[in-house]
Structure 1
Amino acid sequence: MQLRRVFVTMISFALASVAASAQAKELASNDRYMCSWGAGTAARAQELKLAGVSLYAARQKLQAYKFSKAWMRMMAMGITEQTYDSKSRFKPADVRQNFYEECVRYKLARK
């Protein structure tokens, strides 16, 4: 009986260490920044959508923004269009959280 307990405990620790090493993959700071920025963009798009702002007006607002990186404008347009195409009525904070989690999951899966 005692041997069985030791065996079960050892297996539990082994499984826990495997799970911990799988989660230990870390994102590069650039990937983390991209996910965070995209999540904020999706949340702002959701705010505009819920406020009744048209997609056309949202695009115009994006054209007026000054982006620090060349890729940001087109990505912001894509995220905004996808947000408007969605029928979701989630709160912007929920959209931000979901976008960030899915982005991180995607980036980790690519490693």
Structure 2
Amino acid sequence: MHMRNVKVTLIALSLVSGSVSAQGKTLREGDRFMCSWGAGTAARAQELKLSGVSLYAARQKIQTYKFNKSWMRMMAMGITEQTYNSSSRLKPPAVRQSFYEECVRYKLARK
């Protein structure tokens, strides 16, 4: 994923997570969950992209998923679209790790 795509996604994630306490540099459990969930979503999108699944088909697949939180469906759509728009050919585990690290870095920098 390109850095600007990651940053756009992280900004959206931060809007969803609401205000964060400015005390300390530890990651809240909710932020950790959000980063982990987003990283998994990006990795799944990259896997679909690399296997030749169209963005349209990937979007259709997301529509069939059951999500626990109201923000997850739209966030999954955004992460998937950004993943498809990226020219990256990284393997899904590398995308997962990169997304997670950038998300954590972003969340900690906001504190």
TM-score by length of 2: 0.78
Task: Supply the distance in 2 between the matched residues of 1:86 and 1:110 (Cα, whole angstroms).
Answer: 25
Task: Supply the distance in 1 between the matched residues of 2:93 and 2:56 (Cα, whole angstroms).
Answer: 23
Query: Which residue identity does 2:74 align to in structure 1?
Result: M
Q: Which residue of 1 aligns with 2:78?
A: 78
> Deviations along 1:21-55, whole A, 9 cap, x unmatched?
xxx72100000000000000000000000000000
From the CA coordinates, give the structure whose radius of gyration is larger. 1
Q: Select the structure with the greater relative contact order (CA < 8 A; seq sep ≥ 6).
A: 2
Which aligned runs of 4 or more in structure 1 are off by greater than 6 angstroms? none
Aligned pairs, number: 88
Task: Supply the distance in 1 between the matched residues of 2:105 and 2:96 (Cα, whole angstroms).
Answer: 14
Looking at secondary structure, tell me which structure has more helix per residue: 1
The percentage of aligned residue pairs carrying the same residue is: 81
Q: Structure 2: state its 5+ residue gaps.
A: 1-23
Task: Supply the distance in 1 between the matched residues of 2:25 and 2:69 (Cα, whole angstroms).
Answer: 27
Tell me whether 1:61 sits opposite 2:61 in the alignment. yes
Task: Supply the distance in 1 between the matched residues of 2:83 and 2:25 (Cα, whole angstroms).
Answer: 29
